[in-house]
Chains A and B, each alone.
Chain A
Amino acid sequence: MIKVREGFGVWLTGLPASGKTTIARTLEKALRRRGLRVEVLDGDEVRRNLSPDLGFTRKDRETHARRVAYVAKLLVRNGVAVIVGLISPYRNFREHARKQIGNFVEVWVRCPLEECIRRDPKGLYEKAMRGEINDLTGIQDPYEEPLNPEVTVDTSKESVEESVNKIIKKLENLGYLPST
C-alpha cells in the first residue's frame, strides 16, 4: 500500500545538540529530491515565530509542542511531508502529537549526554553548568526517552547519511514513500 499522496510527520526528538537540526535538513533535501513538498519545523526558528511568548517550564514546553503539532497536522492533511525537530522531552507531548498528526513517525535522535555536552554548538550546556540557564533538558530538566519510536538513530555512532537512510527506509516500509 503506497500512500504517496498523503503527507506525514517525522518527529525528531532528542536532547539539545543531539543532531536533530542536521538530520532534519539532510532529510528535507532527500525528500525534496523525491519530489515531495516538505516543510521543516525546527526548534529555534519555529519557537521564535510561533511561541515568542513562551519559556521553558513544563507547561510552556507543552503549549509550544501542541502548537507545533497543530501546525504539522494542518500541513500533513494537505499532503506535505513535515519534519519537526523539537526536544519534546515528555512522552505525553509526543503521544499527543502522534494522535494529532496521524501519519506519524517518531524518531529518537539518540546521543549520549556527554557527547551532546562536548558538541554544545549553542553553548547551552556551558551556560547551564555555569548556572546561567536553569531549565536545560538533560541537565536540569528531564528527558523521557521514547519507549516505542518508529526509528532510533544514534548520532554518536552513525553518519548523518546513515541516520537519514534509516528514516527513509522506515518511511518506505510504512508506505509513506514509494520504495526505490
Chain B
Amino acid sequence: MSRKVLIIGLDCAAPELVFEKFLDELPNLRKMLGHGVHGRLKTCIPPITIPAWMVMMTSRDPGTLGLYGFRHKKSYSYDVWIASSRSIKHKTVWDILSERGLRSCVVGVPPSYPPKPVNGCMVSCFITPDATKDYTYPKELKGELEARFGEYIFDVEFRTEDRDRVLKETYEMTRQHFNVIKYLMQEKEWSLFVFVEIGLDRIHHAFWKFFDREHPKYVPNNRYENVVKEYYKYLDREIGDLLNLVDDETVVLVVSDHGAKGMKGAFCINQWLIREGYLTTKGKPERGARLEESQIDWSKTKAWGWGGYYARIFVNVEGREPQGIVPPEDYEKTLDELTEKLKQIHGPNGEKFDNRIYRPEEIYDELNGDSPDLIVYLDNLSWRSAGTIGYDTLYLSENDTGPDDAVHSEYGVFILYDPKSETGTELQNLSIFDVAPTVLSILDVPVPEEMKGKTITW
C-alpha cells in the first residue's frame, strides 16, 4: 500500500518551546517524538514566512526563487512590489506530484494567493485580501467550505494593544482552519495534505513578552502569562484529532518556517545611515516618519534601508536606480565599507551585537528577481530593524510599526512521525531544504536534482 504524507505547518513554532519548555504538556507531540525523527530545522536567509515556506516546499533558496521577503524593490526604480503566488516560478512538491497524477490538498501555504491549479485542491493563505475574492482551487470549493464553516478567516490584526481581541480572533481563526482541514482530510482524496497555520506566529508576536522572563518588558504574574503555552496546548489537542484521522500508512510532519525569540528592541537603520552620511532627507522629518521616496534627497543619498525582522540595504547606484549617484565602479567598495560599519553597530549601552551581514550573491545558488544589496541581522535578529526616521536615538524599545514583542530566529521545528516506527531519534543538521526531498521520497517520487536538500531517513 502506498504511503501518504500529512504536513502540519505551524508558522513560527519554536524548537525551544516545543522540544523543551512546553513538551511535558503537549502529549500528542510528545508521542510523535517517540516514533520517527525530529530536531531543530535550520531555516533560510532571511528567516521570514515569505520566502521560507516556499523554500521548504521547493527546496530552492530565496535567491533562486527571487523571493526575499514580503516586499521587494522593483529593479531600476524606487517602487515596491508585494509577493504573491504569481512570484513562484519553481515547482513545489505538489506541482511535482500533480505531474505524476498524485493528488494534493494545500491549505494556507504562503504565498498561495491567488490560488493556482493543482491536482487536488487549494485554499490560499494569509495574504488573501478578503473572502470576497476567489481563494480556492477549484473555484467551487469556496462555496463548499463557506456553506459549512462560514466566511473564511485569513489572518488577524495582531499589532494592536487590544490583546484580548487578538486572542479571541486568533482562536476563532485557528479553530475554523482546523475544522476546514479535518473536513478536507476526510472528504478529499490526497497523497499529500499540507497546511500552514499562521495563528501561532500572531500569538508569538502579540504575547511573547508576557511569558518570557528574559524579555525586557516582562512583568511577573501578568494576566497573559499562560497565553502562549495554552495556545500550544490547544494546537497539540488539534494535532491529536488529526492523528486520529490518519492511518498507519500516513507519515505526519510537524514543521515550522522559522523560530521565535524575544525582541530586545528596534534599531533605526535609516537614522543610522543618515548619521553615517549615506542618506540625506529633504528637510527635518517628524519623529517616526516613514521614509518616503519623495522625502529622500537622492542627489545626496548613497544607500537606504528597509525595516523588518531583518534590515535590507539598497545602494543608490548610478545607471541602476533612477537617480543613482554611486558610480558602478564604487559599488563593491561602498558595500565593503557599509559592511564594516554595520558590523560595528552595538547596543544602546555599548553591548556587543552579534551582527550578521550577508551579500545575496555570496549566499544563494542563483540571484533572481530584485534582491537587496545587503541582508543584515542585527544582534542575530534579536534587534529588529526600524525603517522610520526623525529620531534623536538609534534605539527604540518598541517596534515602530505597532506592538510586537517577538522576533524570528534561525531554527524552526521538524518532527517526522511514522506510526510504523518503533523508535524516536533526535537528528542534528536538519535544513529547511530537506523537507521537500523527504516528502517526495516517502511518496516514492524521484527527487529532482536541482533540489538543494537531502532526504531525511529514519
Which residues does A use to contact B, with CB under 8 Å?
A: 106, 147-152, 162, 165, 169-170, 173-174
Total contacts A-B at CB 8 Å: 27
| Contact A148/B213 with A173-B218, A174-B220 known, Cβ cut-off 8 Å | yes
Task: Pick the residue among A150, A162, A165 that contacts B213 (CB under 8 A).
Answer: A150
Q: How far is the CA of A105 from the CA of B349 in the complex (A)?
A: 22
Q: List 13 A-B contacts (CB under 8 A).
A: A147-B20, A148-B21, A148-B211, A148-B212, A148-B213, A149-B213, A150-B214, A151-B214, A169-B349, A173-B216, A173-B217, A173-B218, A174-B220
Tell me which residues across on chain A come within 8 A of B21, comparing CB atoms: 147-148
Q: What is the CB-to-nearest-CB distance from B232 to chain A, in angstroms, rounded to a whole number?
A: 13
13 new A-B contacts at CB < 8 Å, known A148-B214, A173-B217, A174-B218:
A147-B20, A148-B21, A148-B212, A148-B213, A150-B213, A150-B214, A150-B218, A151-B214, A152-B214, A162-B352, A165-B349, A170-B214, A173-B218
Distance in angstroms from A11 CB to nearest chain B CB is 12
- Residue ID in chain B nearest A175 by CB atoms: B219
Complexed CA–CA distance, A106 and B214 (Å): 10
CA distance A151 to B212 in the complex (A): 10
User: Which bracket fits the contact residues of B?
Assistant: 10 to 19
Please give, as numbers and ranges, the residues of chain B lying within 8 Å of A173 by CB-CB distance: 216-218
Q: In whole angstroms, how far apart are the Cα atoms of A169 and B351 in the complex? A: 12
CA of A151 to CA of B215, assembled, Å? 9
User: Please, which residue of chain B has its CB at the minimum distance from the CB of A174?
Assistant: B220
- Enumerate chain B residues within 8 angstroms of A148, measured Cβ to Cβ: 21, 211-214
How many angstroms from the CA of A170 to the CA of B217 in the assembled complex? 9
List of B residues within 8 angstroms of A152 by Cβ? 214
Chain B interface SS verdict (over half): loop
**B residues adjacent to A (C-beta < 8 A):** 20-21, 211-214, 216-220, 349, 351-352
Chain B: minimal CB distance from A166 (Å): 8
Query: Contact: A162 with B217, CB < 8 Å?
Result: no
> Which residue of B has the minimal Cβ distance to A106?
B213
Contacts of B220 in A (CB 8 A): 174
Q: How far is the CA of A148 from the CA of B218 in the complex (A)?
A: 12
Q: How far is the CB of B16 from chain A (nearest CB, A)?
A: 8
Contacts of B214 in A (CB 8 A): 148-152, 170
A173–B211 alpha-carbon span in the complex (Å): 15
Residues from chain B with Cβ under 8 Å of A174 in the complex: 218-220
Residues in chain A near residue B217, CB distance under 8 A: 173
Q: Are B351 and A162 in contact (CB under 8 A)?
A: yes
- Shortest distance from the beta carbon of B259 to any chain A beta carbon, whole Å: 15
B184 to chain A, nearest CB (A): 36
User: What residues on B are CB-neighbors of A106 within 8 Å?
Assistant: 213
A129 to B: closest C-beta gap in Å:
26
Please, how many angstroms separate the alpha-carbon atoms of A148 and B213 in the complex?
A: 6
Residues of B within 8 A of A169 (CB): 216, 349
CB proximity of A21 to chain B, nearest CB, Å: 23
Closest 10 CB pairs of A and B: A147-B21, A150-B213, A148-B213, A173-B216, A147-B20, A149-B213, A150-B214, A151-B214, A148-B21, A152-B214
